[in-house]
Structure 1
Amino acid sequence: MPMIDIYATAGTFSDPHALARDAATTVKSIEQVPDIPMFRENTAAFVHELKAGALSNVDGDADYVRVQVLTNAGALDRPKQIAVARQLTDLVAKAAGDDSLKQRTWVLLTEAVAGGWGLWGHAHTNDEIVTAAKNEIAKLKG
């Protein structure tokens, strides 16, 4: 159930909502979690549009995108980490209509500490998230 934050200068993306939906869908797919409401409703992306001049590298260049993906601990093994970085980079470049943006997109993968994943007003451990998912699957099967 990752949270994805995409930061770029305003106007970089023609359809930020579509980018947010596609980023959430991409990471949910890579995680390979069950397609249940718990995961569909709680995997989300936020596109943050920054004012011109709000970001810069050392040389003063400002045409960068930063993507931060926050997951519960252990959600992404090494192959999934690589897939998330590659696919989100490609998605950002496509959404911007600028293939060269692949060279200027930073993807940061961050894991919440055990007990640091708040959902439904409770700070969940990984075991609690797994148990909640199993309970939801059982309810859906009836």
Structure 2
Amino acid sequence: MLSFWKMTIVIHNKNWSKNTMPMIDVYAPTDLFPAGADRQLGEELTLAILRAEGVANPGPFHLDNTAAYIHRMAASTVQTASTALARTVRVQVITPPGALKREGQKQLVKEVTEIVAKISGDPSQAGRTWVILTEAAEGGWGLFGTAFGKEEFIALAAKAKAAQ
């Protein structure tokens, strides 16, 4: 039975103005990607976001705080007018306000679409891959029991840097 795959990747970056904490949700039919491709998809999408944010050499703070959550859903949960078993992919990237400049947005949408098409093995998948960029409200991130905003992210980054 065809089901849908949801993966959430959370990344904590160390510089608020340039490197913030995005979240990615990927929804796709389970058989769209080859068996065992979860790691490749997660790693490539994570690195695409870091590049789009200007992180050339991600360190442990970037990479150690990355987690993937996979949730399977029935195929009937995604509908189009033409089919009850849509072969669409939805990738939603949520960031704090201003985390991605316009060039970073363009770069990220292009790379995410290329990654999905490449790993699916179907170049035409690019035409059925939706990338949605969303900005969370200031203070709209919760971690360590704290609603994180600009000040809290800066303090977290300083703490991580001091620990190195």
Short-chain TM bin: 0.7 to 0.9
Out of 57, 66, 76, the residue aligned to residue 80 of structure 2 is 57
- Name which of structure 1's ranges 14-23 and 91-100 shifts more when overlaid on structure 2: 14-23
Structure 1 residues 41 and 77 mapped into 2: Cα distance closer, same or farther (>3 Å)?
Answer: same
Q: For the residues of structure 1 that align with 2:122 and 2:71, how far apart are their CA atoms?
A: 18
Structure 1, unpaired ranges of 5+: none
Q: For the residues of structure 2 that align with 1:44 and 1:82, how far apart are their CA atoms?
A: 24
Q: CA RMSD in A?
A: 2.0
Structure 1 residues 43 and 84 mapped into 2: Cα distance closer, same or farther (>3 Å)?
Answer: farther
Q: Report how far residue 45 of structure 1 moved.
A: 4.8
The percent identity for this pair of structures is 39
Where 1:39 maps in the other structure, the secondary structure is helix
Answer 1 or 2: which has greater helix percent.
1
Where 2:131 maps in the other structure, the secondary structure is strand
Where 1:53 maps in the other structure, the secondary structure is helix
Q: Report how far residue 44 of structure 1 moved.
A: 4.4
Q: Report how far residue 18 of structure 1 moved.
A: 1.7
Name the residue aligned to 1:130.
154
**TM-score normalised according to structure 1 size:** 0.86
Q: Report how far residue 20 of structure 1 moved.
A: 1.4
Q: For the residues of structure 1 that align with 2:112 and 2:25, how far apart are their CA atoms?
A: 11
Structure 1 residues 108 and 44 mapped into 2: Cα distance closer, same or farther (>3 Å)?
Answer: farther
- Give yes or no for the alignment of 1:38 onto 2:61: yes
- Give yes or no for the alignment of 1:86 onto 2:110: yes
Aligned residues: 140
